[in-house]
Structure 1
Amino acid sequence: MQSKRGVTVKLSGRQLAVMRVLWQQREATVAEVQQALETDPPLAYSTVATVLSRMERKGLITHRVEDRQYYYRAVVSEVGANQSVVGDLVDRVFGGSPAELVNQLLASDQVDADELERIKQLVNEHAKRTKRKS
């Protein structure tokens, strides 16, 4: 994933969970992130603070201070993160072939008739956009 500084960064599962909290809440303290993570057992306050600090050093998040309280917010967009995760999955698991990813989804029980119609609609819309660019 690319931060605003143009550095490619990959998120761990815990970092992605923290980013989801920040995307949803826009801004949160360590305690608010800790509460929203809903892990079992709950993560220690110090663990959440460490994760946030490391993410800030990587350029994924930033903070502001108000009354000695740190308020964190995401620097990386949710769309950018999702694209990065999918791109990494396609590269690592499907040899760089998006068609293989789609084939695997269609071969699984995860795609019902409604989902299949939605996929067809998305493919048609993408084809139209791609045709216009040519």
Structure 2
Amino acid sequence: MARPGSEHPTNLELEILKVLWEEAPLPVREVRARLESQAQRPLAHSSVITMLNIMYDKGFLYRKKVGKSFHFSPRVRKDQIAGGIIDDLLSRLFDGSPSAMMLNLLENKEVDADELTELRKLITRKTREQEK
């Protein structure tokens, strides 16, 4: 039996969205060329068409007929996708605790001084907003 589809994009769907967030609308051949450049491996034209059509059906993309080909553009913003994935990760792995997730991130990844400064500013701003 097939695994149920995810509401979140797959890895390849994310790669396609990254291409289209950078520049859109693009025809299939341009999407394919950019994916191949990033992946350093050939991709079948028919595979890219299939993925783009699946993403269109899932509501991730717009599709517009231009001449004999379709041009694709993102229907979802990067922050929408990121927010959904983060919410899912937060609830499934960290029992809904943002602090547990942040502590895990800070303990397990290198964070440079500039990033720590930005995090402190954000925490200070959020604290002030909650005090109002």
Interval containing the TM-score (normalised by the shorter chain): 0.7 to 0.9
Sequence identity percentage: 28
Q: Number of residue pairs matched?
A: 125
Instruction: Provide structure 1 residue ranges, at least 5 long, that are not aligned to the other structure.
Output: 1-7
Q: How does 1:8-87 map to 2 (within 5 A)?
A: 9-37=7-35, 38-87=38-87
Partner Cα distance (1:52, 1:124) in 2: 42
Unpaired segments of 5 or more residues in structure 2? Answer: 1-5
Asked which structure has the greater RCO (Cα within 8 Å, sep 6+), the reply is: 1
AA partner of residue 32 (structure 2): Q
Q: 1:103 to 1:47 in 2, by over 3 A?
A: same
CA contact (8 A) 1:21 1:33 kept: yes
- TM-score under structure 1 normalisation? 0.84
**Aligned partners of 2:127 and 2:42: how far apart in 1?**
45
Q: Deviations over 1:25-52 (max 9, x none)?
A: 1211111111111224222111111000
TM-score normalized with structure 2 length: 0.85
